[in-house]
Homo-oligomer: A and B are copies of this chain.
């Protein structure tokens, strides 16, 4: 038996998220089914991040255990023809049998993409949030500074059942603009439920002038979800990368 680590990219638009559920098709389910066909065994992957409905990934991670003779690094090429076009295994490699994508230190990077112009762009409707009012980037960056570092992010979390602590560390939070595209890039040691989308929603309210950068500090200290901004929609969010320590 070998454990194989897969790096998975997907357009989440037409899926009910990563995790298998009764009401619709999920990334996990489609991966299990393609990998089972490929190996001739019943495969159940373990994913690193259970992304929500409509959220995308360039670098989610999953593992499977298999006795397949396919060389580990060939798994990606072998499984892709069995997957729909909106899911691609971009890399595969062997890892130790006890390597687990969730129970160890990791650094995750997310991007939240905002299309900031008057009219929507039909070619970018699937992977951006269209915000038609002008946003003040300097104010958004000032607010982002308050969020960087170790904090209790309880006010930036939708549900916190089953979580031991709501303290997390954001290593980096930068906001870049290129043409009409604003990209909020967040790197941290872990994220609470909806945390990146609530941060994106709150920063957008700061950019619009509805809140000041200083308000963000108060929201953080209040530890109350109702004080933070709205949860930004899923299509702007991409899990770009998960790095594991050695």
Contacts of A88 in B (CB 8 A): 119-122
Tell me the interface secondary structure of chain A in the complex.
mixed
Is A122 a contact of B238 with CB atoms below 8 Å? Answer: no
Is A87 a contact of B122 with CB atoms below 8 Å? Answer: yes
Contacts of A80 in B (CB 8 A): 119-120
A195 on interface, CB distance cutoff 8 Å: no
What's the interface size class on A, roughly? Answer: 20 to 34
Q: Which of A47-95 contact B (CB under 8 A)?
A: 56, 58, 76, 80, 85-88, 90-91
Is A123 a contact of B90 with CB atoms below 8 Å? Answer: no
Residue of B56, B90, B122, B127 touching A10 (CB-CB under 8 A): B122
Q: Which of A211-240 contact B (CB under 8 A)?
A: 238
Contacts of A87 in B (CB 8 A): 122
Is B119 a contact of A123 with CB atoms below 8 Å? Answer: no
